[in-house]
Structure 1
Amino acid sequence: MDEEASIILGDAIAFCQRDGQDARLINMLGQSRAVSLTEDALTIEAPSRFAIAQLKKHQPTIEAYLEEIAFAPIALNVVAPQGASANTAPDTRPAATATAAATPAPGPRRDDVSRETMTPQPAASVAPAVEPAPSPIPTATHMPVAHEATPGEESGIAIKNTLSADDFRRMMTQMNGRPPAKSASSSAMPAAPSAATPAAVEKNADGAPLAANSKFTFENFVFGPENSLAYRSALKFAMLADTPGTCTSLFIYGKSGLGKTHLLLAIKNELAEKSPEIKVKYANSQAYLDDLMTEFDRQKKSNAPIMQAYHGVDVLIIDDIQNIIGKRASVDYFFQLMDEFIRNNKKVVIAADRAPKDLNMDERLTSRFNAGLLCLVAEPSYEMKYKILQRYYENTIAAVPEAGNDSLLAAYGGDGGHLTDAHFKHMAEVSGTNIRELESFCERCAGEAGDREREGGELTFDDIDAIANQYFDTSAKKINVQTVQSVIEEQYGVTHEELIGPRRNANIAKARHIAIYLAIEMCEMTTTAVGAEFGNRNHSTVSTSYKKVQKMIQEDRTVTEDLKSLRDKITLRS
């Protein structure tokens, strides 16, 4: 036996015990024999065909422990006992099998795991002249079960118990997810996963893999002046994720429901598809806190490194960190983790509802995030809401394949109805700015349109207004241009006469451009009507002011923040 192989197998068993893995997995590893250890693979000999199948089933978990122990990827190879095959029928002999009897007991191992077994059987029973025919379920199959070591025992585990045939049958059903095979020839064992088999794929709340058929891609993200910087920065980060020292941090901030999580998951999914060799860990704030508390609890029982799943990746993505910063018990460790990633030139993506300077973070971290890619995702304008509604309808609602003639949906007459360009424009006018709510709002309007069409009618603006009133607090709030002008005059220290008059010094001109922009955005007025409120300016002059503010948004991130603050003041005053 390879001594180093025996040591690393013992450590893997100890790690399983540390993390509270299933006792059956620990016992099967404890009965296995370490055969050899190379630079990139550990080969172990399992005691039975059943153990081989189960160890291979848990191969990703074991390989993760091996990598944690060896500080390098180590593949697990599970082989059959000498003189046997992984495809032979299960051994129905007593617990002291031929392999166990013929193989000398291993020497002391670092984890000091006991291999105490049942009382040895007479030597004659090891290799009978005629092997009895295997039965579907062994009548007295002995399976070791772990129990806690009693005080004074030196070993970590003592194996003494056995399972009855009924217990064995139940165990196979639970571990295989199906009833046990009736015979060795009636079903083939599952194919062994390769050494490169990845750990379980991270999943959405509904259980679907994030990268499979996900809507969270760069292609599905609608961007405009309010979020184009964040979009381009996220795309740049994903493209340069494998370039050391470049784009080491990306910090995206803005109110809830504006697309921050979409961009974070788009980065994750892009890397999973285009650069699978890059190790990525995504966690929202709640998942991070749950993992951290679990690790703190485990550390009380061992001295293992905390949060290995976070430290051991190339790209760390954490969403909604304002919830982490607010927890004093976890904030220190979060600072340490971020500092380690940035010092080692590893990649970090963060999302929050506020800028780093407003999160009361450590000054060094604030400085480092400010020096990286720092992007605001602002509330969508009328034009952007119009694009989002139109894109969502075309890609999600109208793109659903038609149901078969024999389906319940076909018998009902379908679901979503037809939405016109005029519908989208009115929906954009009366809706709020939360993108998740916009999508749900679009679903409701399409459903209502379908109901109207089945009745021989069509969706009206009144129908849309009624639905909007159920979604958005501000949908019925009318904002007049005088309120916009009043807020802008106070903000920039100009008089009403200066705002609407002909003077063009820098401060007055900027205030006028922004007032015109917000009047168009918030007051549901045409450019001609807005011009009449600003000294009877013509359509062309008003359009020029609007375009200048759009350009300012693209060139200066602070303008977007100022506009958001002004919108809030105007809304509150209306």
Structure 2
Amino acid sequence: MESEAKILLADVAAYLQRDGGDDRLVQMLLQSVGRDLTDEALTIEAPSRFAIAYLERNRGLIEGYIEQIAFTPMALRVLAPAQTPTLEPPAGAPAPQPELIGAPAGAAANQPDRVPEPVTPITTTPTPAAPFVSDVAGGVERGIKVRNTLSRDDYHQLVTRMNGAPATPAPAAVIEKAPEEEVFPQTPIASKFTFATFVYGDENKHAYQSAQRFAAWADEPGQVNSLFIYGGSGLGKTHLLLAIKNFLAEKKPHIRVKYANSQAYIDDFINEIGRQKTERRTILRDYHDANILIIDDIQNIIGKQASIEYFFNLMDEFIRENKKVVIASDRAPKKLGMDERLTSRFNAGMLCLVSEPGFEMKYTILKRYYETIICAADDVSEMEIDATLLGAFQAHEGHLTDEQLRHMAEISGNNIRELESFCERCASLSYEREQAGEELTAADIERVAHEYFDTAHKVIHIDTIQDVVEEFYHVSHEELIGPKRSREIAFARHVAVYLANSLCDLSATAVGEQFGGRDHSTIIHSLKVVEKKIKEDRRVCDDLQQLKNKITLRS
């Protein structure tokens, strides 16, 4: 049954990725191995000890997708790496021999008490990260591309075809009939993408508050009809879109919401063009029937002529019918080449820029992720995990001090997904150091950062430091390097000298030459002034961290 388990596992990962689910969870599912499939449960082998706790934490979401694909409730069983599953024999029957698990079909046929094999699950239209699985046996293609709105009768007919039996002849013309029940089943709420888990600051506060406002007014016609969030990759746009979707699914389930990223929209469009020809149905019906349409990464649709034209028509329909739209893109509407009416519509609605996180936000993200995810992974007492599995791995991560987290924030890049992975790596390395009786050093953190970011070992020039300090303290360059000694100008000069001494590979004399030819003793005096202020006033320390972050980003 291992092959069926692998097919079903691949389908779950494909569905989750199609719906814009947690990227880390998708990767963990793709790296897992399907070991066994029965009528009651799907058994998978996790790739690592950390993955076990993460998969268990998302058990409800995964089992929801399993039920969607297999049309029957199934439990998820997660095994530790390299652990072999054991089938439960029927009452009174002898237990199967271990070597028969996963044995050829001929060997299984000689065992009358073996658990009967379940019907092979149907594979779905995949995303590029999860290749379509097909198995040609006897000239019959076993990989059937279907949508999860397939009826139970059609499902069994396809299963008959997959098993090689002649299929029931289809009627000459298929007339679309109204669905017997709602076509908008709510995805189980088991996601980290909520408003409560979003870390916001000055860089993204407007987008965060606008997303909350949109969700709050979602069922009020004519109020807050559009939200357009734009900014670079990995800055939290998808988190906000999924937070809206999850909030509405939990608090306002009567609202029909359709969420899709750009790739899912293009796949749906291409697949349903074919269905339109054979079934005479309106394409993208679930998009048209939605009350709220949420599309992520809209920039990827630009350039695909047929799909973008249909998308423009879809947006025009939503505008005319006063429906609501949420869009995320890497650039502003006016730079996407959209129809002028759409550009005007989005500009007139809530238009929000998400900027790159500064030091304080990165520090907050790292600190929250470390405390709520990494540290929480050690505590599995409230999770539904078989205690016998815990012996297969060490459920511990190393400790990260506040000073280490601040250093990580200072030298890291701006992609939030990379920040979280960076934090995991540092915690894991800290554990290795602790096991050896050592401590995680700043050099260790910088080596890990060098694998993730380009900002770890940048060459920093004094003129960059001077520019940033001048902007921060609102002084001119002439004032910074000149003879004026007023309190504000003098302290800005001390800070610039302090940063130049710590960030640039220059002697005190060389630094002094860049500040109006000041001598060695003057530079030492500036260093002492700033060091004294750091001990007296925490705000000075925070300002220095913020200045270092700005300098690193500009270098």
TM-score range, shorter chain: 0.5 to 0.7
3-state secondary structure, aligned to 1:474: coil
Q: Is the deviation greater in 454-463 or in 429-438?
A: 454-463
Contact 1:409 1:415 in 2 (8 A): no
Structure 1: distance between partners of 2:462 and 2:305: 45
Question: Which amino acid letter does the alignment assign opposite residue 169 of structure 2?
Answer: H
3-state secondary structure, aligned to 2:352: strand
Is residue 146 from structure 1 mapped to residue 168 from structure 2 by the alignment? yes
Structure 2: distance between partners of 1:292 and 1:248: 24
Is residue 467 from structure 1 mapped to residue 444 from structure 2 by the alignment? no
Deviation of residue 483 (structure 1)? Answer: 2.3
Structure 2: distance between partners of 1:479 and 1:237: 43
Deviation of residue 345 (structure 1)? Answer: 1.6
Decide whether aligned partners of structure 1 residues 366 and 277 sit closer, same or farther in structure 2, where only a CA change above 3 A counts: same
Q: Out of 176, 192, 195, which is 1:215 matched to?
A: 192
Is residue 235 from structure 1 mapped to residue 212 from structure 2 by the alignment? yes
Contact 2:378 2:397 in 1 (8 A): no
Decide whether aligned partners of structure 1 residues 500 and 349 sit closer, same or farther in structure 2, where only a CA change above 3 A counts: farther
Structure 2: distance between partners of 1:542 and 1:393: 23
Counterpart of 2:339? 362
Structure 2: distance between partners of 1:265 and 1:230: 13
Deviation of residue 402 (structure 1)? Answer: 3.2
Q: Deviations over 1:353-381 (max 9, x none)?
A: 00111111111111111111111111110
Structure 1: distance between partners of 2:298 and 2:476: 42
Is residue 290 from structure 1 mapped to residue 290 from structure 2 by the alignment? no
Deviation of residue 300 (structure 1)? Answer: 2.9
Q: Deviations over 1:233-289 (max 9, x none)?
A: 001100010111111000001111110000000000000000000000000000000
TM-score, normalisation: structure 1: 0.53
User: How is 1:169-568 mapped onto 2 (pairs within 5 angstroms)?
Assistant: 199-202=184-187, 209=188, 211=189, 213-301=190-278, 303-402=280-379, 409=390, 412-485=393-466, 496-497=477-478
Contact 1:257 1:434 in 2 (8 A): yes
Q: Deviations over 1:422-441 (max 9, x none)?
A: 11101101111000000000
3-state secondary structure, aligned to 1:418: coil
The share of aligned pairs that are identical, in percent, is 56
Decide whether aligned partners of structure 1 residues 58 and 389 sit closer, same or farther in structure 2, where only a CA change above 3 A counts: closer
Q: Deviations over 1:485-540 (max 9, x none)?
A: 469999xxx9832676699xxxxx9xx99xx99x989x969xxx9xx999989879
Structure 1: distance between partners of 2:292 and 2:453: 37
Deviation of residue 542 (structure 1)? Answer: 13
Counterpart of 2:4? none
Decide whether aligned partners of structure 1 residues 313 and 411 sit closer, same or farther in structure 2, where only a CA change above 3 A counts: closer
Question: Which amino acid letter does the alignment assign opposite residue 347 of structure 1?
Answer: K
3-state secondary structure, aligned to 2:377: coil
Counterpart of 1:27? none
Q: Deviations over 1:516-571 (max 9, x none)?
A: 99x989x969xxx9xx9999898799979x99xx9xxxxxxxxxxxx99x987x33
Decide whether aligned partners of structure 1 residues 369 and 488 sit closer, same or farther in structure 2, where only a CA change above 3 A counts: farther
Structure 2: distance between partners of 1:534 and 1:363: 52
Contact 1:423 1:461 in 2 (8 A): yes
3-state secondary structure, aligned to 2:294: strand
3-state secondary structure, aligned to 2:295: strand
3-state secondary structure, aligned to 1:476: coil
Deviation of residue 415 (structure 1)? Answer: 2.8
Decide whether aligned partners of structure 1 residues 376 and 292 sit closer, same or farther in structure 2, where only a CA change above 3 A counts: same
Structure 2: distance between partners of 1:429 and 1:299: 54
Decide whether aligned partners of structure 1 residues 314 and 321 sit closer, same or farther in structure 2, where only a CA change above 3 A counts: same
Decide whether aligned partners of structure 1 residues 340 and 484 sit closer, same or farther in structure 2, where only a CA change above 3 A counts: farther
Deviation of residue 412 (structure 1)? Answer: 5.0
Contact 1:285 1:318 in 2 (8 A): yes
Question: Which amino acid letter does the alignment assign opposite residue 471 of structure 1?
Answer: Y
Q: Deviations over 1:166-186 (max 9, x none)?
A: xxxxxxxxxxxxxxxxxxxxx
Unpaired stretches in structure 1, ≥5 consecutive residues? 1-56, 60-142, 150-154, 158-194, 203-208, 504-508, 551-562
Decide whether aligned partners of structure 1 residues 409 and 341 sit closer, same or farther in structure 2, where only a CA change above 3 A counts: same
Contact 1:414 1:450 in 2 (8 A): no
Structure 1: distance between partners of 2:306 and 2:184: 30
Deviation of residue 403 (structure 1)? Answer: 5.4
Contact 2:225 2:325 in 1 (8 A): yes
Structure 2: distance between partners of 1:406 and 1:268: 35
Deviation of residue 299 (structure 1)? Answer: 2.5
3-state secondary structure, aligned to 1:301: helix
Higher relative contact order (CA 8 A, sep 6+): 2
Deviation of residue 338 (structure 1)? Answer: 1.1
Structure 2: distance between partners of 1:284 and 1:253: 14
Counterpart of 1:39? none
3-state secondary structure, aligned to 1:448: helix
Contact 1:403 1:409 in 2 (8 A): no
Deviation of residue 413 (structure 1)? Answer: 4.1
Contact 1:339 1:365 in 2 (8 A): yes
Decide whether aligned partners of structure 1 residues 364 and 289 sit closer, same or farther in structure 2, where only a CA change above 3 A counts: same
Deviation of residue 337 (structure 1)? Answer: 1.0
Deviation of residue 298 (structure 1)? Answer: 2.4
Unpaired stretches in structure 2, ≥5 consecutive residues? 1-69, 73-164, 175-179, 517-525
Deviation of residue 479 (structure 1)? Answer: 2.7
Decide whether aligned partners of structure 1 residues 386 and 245 sit closer, same or farther in structure 2, where only a CA change above 3 A counts: same
Rg: which structure is higher?
1
Contact 1:429 1:524 in 2 (8 A): no
Q: How many corresponding residue pairs? A: 347
TM-score, normalisation: structure 2: 0.55
Contact 1:413 1:454 in 2 (8 A): no
Decide whether aligned partners of structure 1 residues 397 and 371 sit closer, same or farther in structure 2, where only a CA change above 3 A counts: same
3-state secondary structure, aligned to 1:444: helix
Contact 2:184 2:257 in 1 (8 A): no
3-state secondary structure, aligned to 1:300: helix
Question: Which amino acid letter does the alignment assign opposite residue 398 of structure 2?
Answer: G
Contact 1:403 1:410 in 2 (8 A): no
Question: Which amino acid letter does the alignment assign opposite residue 366 of structure 1?
Answer: T
